């Protein structure tokens, strides 16, 4: 047996897929490794990991010859008692932090309930007042009110930050308190179960420089999220890629480098082997080569054959009985009737398939050759002529069953070896036992699930797939994570990824506890080009909305998900973005801008047209007035639609002032017909008027739906 060295390990990298995750552990190698064969035992791995997924990554000249991941059951040792001194200290700290959180929350509520009244009522003008419209000191009162409002906002932000920090400390203390009260639950895995990665090294004088062990866990998933931090009126922005990550793998991911992948962890990407198509005669299928078995192979299974051989049964005694006319074909070797009755013979004939397994073949026999077969004795003929005809028929039936079972056993031996004394006999395929092999060749690499076939001669020495041993709670953890819904309307990467797969790398180490709760983490942040724009569609709504456009700064496409928009450090709104390609534009609204107004007016005049007045011409004159009360210049986008020429209607004399450009709205994924757009810049406190004219010409017997002079 090779020497076993116990090693510690820590989680250094985690790759979370749409379902499941791959965890990589860094093994702390001993100072010196013996030159003989040695086994490194890496314990403390979660019991919810898949035993067949363990892999090693070696940096060094030493060769890895074996890897096993057995499930370690909890020992029978008594659970450790809680530390009373530590419990009292943690209880005091929890009570103190609870009091601080309550006081901070009360102060925050008082600040939020504070009412700021600038007393802007115009006082009664006296005889010495030069300007009756303005009271004395109104500018000072407005300035004081704004200063108090800014101070209150600053104090509220400080209190919110203080409450957040105190609550984070309180959660950590509560977790420590739970561990101190239940020390037996600190063991890895459910109910104390764990796995141990046993890495076997070949003999050699070289030393390993680095050793990593990786494995997969099922109970893990993620959802995309984003954050945009705007500054300087939206002209400068930082775009952050964030995510909600939930895991119930049985171990905490602390200080690990995280990667998020949109692909499925268990997707088979093996390319199929396509058969070549040729013109000509049909070629026979290619035969696989034959490789002769090595010498001494039977000696390798001598112990196995001895263990599987049935217990020895005395050979039947030869008995010559006088044959009657009706029983002449049944005259054979049989035991004396006086020594065995019908009941005993029935029990002897109804042997199980395991009891009829052949004995070990002789050493001189070739591999797979037919072993000596012990035939079952047929039923004896009746000892007395006075037995009834019914009993004789039952005896014949029992004898036929025994002969069929003996023949089946002989055919199994002949089918395995392809020779022997019974090679000329035909084999009934329906009676031969069958074992279905695994359809996927990759499954045969799961060595922990392979076992020797049961004691059947033609399967001797062959491996079959068994059942993996899983820890309690394995299926429950997977169902818990699978049943979670996306927080805040986040999309599932499995269904929102479209036709691409990408892996996002985090720039810093993260900490994700094993609690089955979605935790929001930040992966990376990059500056992005941004532009603030006002947008209005007066035909549908005359309100003006603020919209920010960001160029995707990441070298990867973005999935649909929520985005938190911050303006100068304060959370402004939580919007939703759709799927964005690499180098695309991210758009999200910031709500209504009430300091910019748009008024739309439509006038329509009707007249006849044509040689005999057979056409109706309706002239539409549209005027749009935009006004801004902001202290800075704004860019306003106005969108309008013009009717499109059809089978019954013709649109003529389309003109606009200033000149409008055609707009199809293809960049938003919802194309329209007949759209026009103005991009204007309103100066501080300025106004601008826009004109649009077009004429509808149609038969006088028709009328526009809603009236020819509709607005």
pLDDT tens digits, one per residue of 646-678: 888 888 878 888 999 998 888 777 888 888 999
Domain ranges across the chain: 84-121+137-185, 297-319+330-480, 596-699
Q: What is the pLDDT, as a whole number, of residue 604?
A: 85
Compute the distance between CA of residue 393 and CA of residue 432 in angstroms, rounded to an integer.
28
Which secondary structure element, helix H or strand E, spans residue 168, and what is its range?
helix 138-181
User: Structure tokens of 501?
Assistant: 């797969």
Compute the distance between CA of residue 363 and CA of residue 371 in angstroms, rounded to an integer.
11
Q: What is the pLDDT, as a whole number, of residue 556?
A: 86
How far are the Cα atoms of 232, 470, 573, 632 from residue 565, in angstroms, in the given order?
Answer: 14, 45, 5, 21
Among 197, 223, 255, smallest CA distance to 513 is for 255
Among 571, 501, 71, 492, smallest CA distance to 246 is for 492
177: CB partners within 8 A, 6+ apart = 87, 90, 91, 94
pLDDT tens digits, one per residue of 279-313: 888 777 777 666 777 788 778 777 777 776 666 55
Q: Out of 8-12, 404-408, 698-702, which region has the weakest mean confidence (pLDDT)? A: 404-408
Lookup result for tokens 């600038």: 118
Among 73, 467, 71, 484, smallest CA distance to 248 is for 484
Number of neighbours of residue 402 by Cβ within 10 angstroms: 21
Residue 573 has pLDDT above 80, yes or no: yes
Q: pLDDT confidence of 386, banded at 50, 70, 90?
A: very low
SS3 string, 153-165, reads HHHHHHHHHHHHH
Q: What is the pLDDT, as a whole number, of residue 217?
A: 94
Q: What is the pLDDT, as a whole number, of residue 227?
A: 92
How far are the Cα atoms of 103, 131, 497, 536, 683 from residue 631, in angstroms, in the given order?
Answer: 41, 26, 43, 20, 8
pLDDT tens digits, one per residue of 508-546: 999 999 988 899 999 999 998 888 889 999 988 999 998
624, with CB counted inside 10 A (0-12, 13-18, 19+), is buried
Q: pLDDT confidence of 499, banded at 50, 70, 90?
A: confident
Any idea how long the chain is?
Answer: 711
- φ/ψ of residue 122, rounded to 5: -75, 120
Compute the distance between CA of residue 430 and CA of residue 105 in angstroms, rounded to an integer.
79
pLDDT tens digits, one per residue of 47-83: 999 888 899 999 888 888 889 888 888 764 455 667 7
Angle, helices 138-181/84-113, rounded to nearest 10 degrees: 160
The mean pLDDT value of the chain amounts to 76
């Amino acid at each position: 047996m090779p020497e076993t060295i116990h090693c510690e390990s820590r989680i250094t990298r985690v790759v979370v897929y749409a379902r499941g995750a791959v965890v990589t552990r860094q093994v702390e190698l001993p100072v010196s490794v013996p030159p003989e064969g040695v086994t490194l035992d890496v314990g403390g791995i979660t019991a919810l990991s898949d035993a067949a997924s363990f892999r090693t990554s070696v940096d060094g000249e030493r060769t890895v010859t074996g890897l096993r991941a057995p499930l370690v059951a909890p020992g029978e040792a008594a659970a450790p008692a809680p530390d009373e001194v530590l419990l009292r200290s943690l209880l005091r700290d929890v009570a103190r932090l609870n009091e601080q959180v309550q006081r901070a929350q009360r102060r925050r509520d008082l600040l939020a309930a504070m009412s700021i009244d600038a007393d802007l009522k115009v006082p009664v003008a006296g005889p010495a007042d030069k300007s009756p419209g303005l009271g004395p000191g109104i500018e000072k009162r407005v300035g004081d009110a704004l200063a108090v409002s800014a101070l209150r906002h600053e104090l509220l932000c400080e209190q919110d930050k203080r409450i957040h920090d105190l609550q984070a400390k309180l959660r950590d203390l509560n977790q420590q308190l739970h561990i101190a009260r239940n020390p037996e639950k600190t063991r890895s895995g459910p109910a104390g179960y764990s796995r141990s990665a046993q890495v076997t090294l070949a003999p050699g004088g070289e030393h390993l420089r680095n050793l990593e062990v990786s494995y997969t866990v099922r109970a893990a998933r993620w959802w995309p999220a984003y954050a945009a931090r705007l500054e300087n009126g939206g002209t400068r922005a930082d775009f952050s890629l964030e995510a909600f990550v939930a895991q119930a793998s049985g171990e905490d991911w602390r200080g690990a480098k995280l990667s998020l992948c949109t692909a499925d962890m268990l997707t088979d990407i093996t390319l199929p082997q396509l058969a070549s198509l040729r013109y000509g005669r049909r070629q026979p299928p290619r035969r696989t080569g034959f490789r002769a078995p090595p010498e001494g192979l039977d000696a390798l299974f001598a112990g196995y054959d001895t263990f599987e051989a049935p217990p020895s049964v005395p050979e039947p005694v030869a008995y010559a009985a006088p044959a009657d006319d009706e029983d002449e074909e049944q005259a054979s070797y049989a035991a004396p009737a006086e020594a065995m009755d019908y009941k005993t013979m029935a029990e002897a004939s109804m042997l199980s398939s395991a009891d009829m397994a052949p004995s070990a073949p002789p050493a001189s026999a070739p591999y797979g050759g037919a072993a000596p077969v012990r035939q079952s004795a047929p039923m004896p003929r009746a000892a007395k002529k006075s037995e009834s005809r019914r009993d004789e028929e039952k005896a014949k039936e029992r004898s036929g069953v025994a002969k069929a079972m003996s023949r089946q056993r002989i055919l199994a031996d002949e089918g395995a070896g392809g020779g022997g004394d019974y090679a000329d006999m035909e084999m009934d395929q329906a009676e031969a036992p069958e074992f279905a092999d695994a359809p996927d060749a990759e499954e045969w690499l799961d060595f922990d699930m392979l076992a020797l076939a049961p004691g059947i001669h033609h399967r001797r020495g062959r491996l079959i797939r068994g059942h993996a041993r899983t820890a309690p709670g394995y299926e429950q953890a997977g169902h818990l994570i699978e049943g979670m819904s996306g927080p805040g309307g986040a999309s599932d990467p499995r269904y929102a990824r479209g036709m691409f797969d990408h892996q996002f790398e985090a720039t810093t180490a993260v900490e994700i506890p094993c609690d089955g709760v979605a935790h929001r983490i930040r992966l990376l942040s990059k500056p992005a080009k941004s532009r603030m724009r006002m947008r209005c569609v007066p035909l549908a709504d005359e309100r003006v909305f603020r919209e920010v456009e960001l160029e995707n700064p990441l070298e990867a496409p973005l999935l649909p998900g929520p985005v938190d928009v911050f303006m100068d450090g304060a959370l402004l709104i939580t919007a939703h973005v759709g799927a964005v390609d690499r180098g695309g534009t991210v758009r999200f609204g910031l709500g209504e801008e009430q300091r910019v107004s748009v008024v739309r007016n439509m006038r329509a005049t009707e007249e006849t047209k044509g040689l005999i007045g057979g056409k109706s011409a309706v002239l539409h004159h549209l005027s749009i007035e935009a006004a801004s009360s902001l202290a800075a210049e704004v860019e306003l986008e106005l969108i309008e639609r013009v009717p499109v020429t059809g089978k019954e209607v013709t649109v003529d004399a389309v003109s606009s002032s200033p000149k409008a450009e055609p707009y199809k709205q293809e960049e938003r994924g919802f194309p329209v017909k007949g759209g026009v757009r103005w991009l204007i810049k309103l100066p501080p406190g300025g106004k601008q008027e826009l004109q649009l004219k077009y004429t509808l010409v149609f038969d006088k017997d028709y009328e526009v739906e809603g009236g020819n002079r509709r607005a």
